[in-house]
Amino acid sequence: MIIETRELLFTNSALKKAFAWYAAVQNQTDLPLGAITTVTPKPGGGVYVLVQQSGASRNREVSFNASKTLAVLLYFCRKQRIPIPREADKDIAAQGDSISLTISGKTRTVSPPA
């Protein structure tokens, strides 16, 4: 068996872009319409997203748990044409103001015919 492990580090600017892409998805109800001003990773892989809504004087804070954050990052990877194996194990973790996505996949090996 061959085991492959990759780590993708999403910087804070990449996180803002990922959530901006997600905010533009039709019929999503997690983020209100507006500009993503801040994305703050929290322990365990979730994030807090601050959104400046048009005409509003205050930013609105929206919390994403780790599984929803992972879904947003996988959507962003698809839009950026970064290949992510569907069957691989995926784990995210906060690293300062960034998020680390670890992808682990297993490939079965075979012997040549005897």
Q: What is the pLDDT of residues 7-18, one digit of tens each?
A: 999 999 999 999
pLDDT at 53: 83
59 near 40, Cβ under 8 Å? no
pLDDT at 70: 96
Distance CA 55, CA 82 (A): 36
70 DSSP assignment: H
Task: Examine the pLDDT at 100 and tell me if it is beyond 80.
Answer: yes
Percent pLDDT > 70 in the chain is 100
pTM: 0.87
- Give the list of residues 6+ apart from residue 25 with CB closer than 8 angstroms, or none: 75
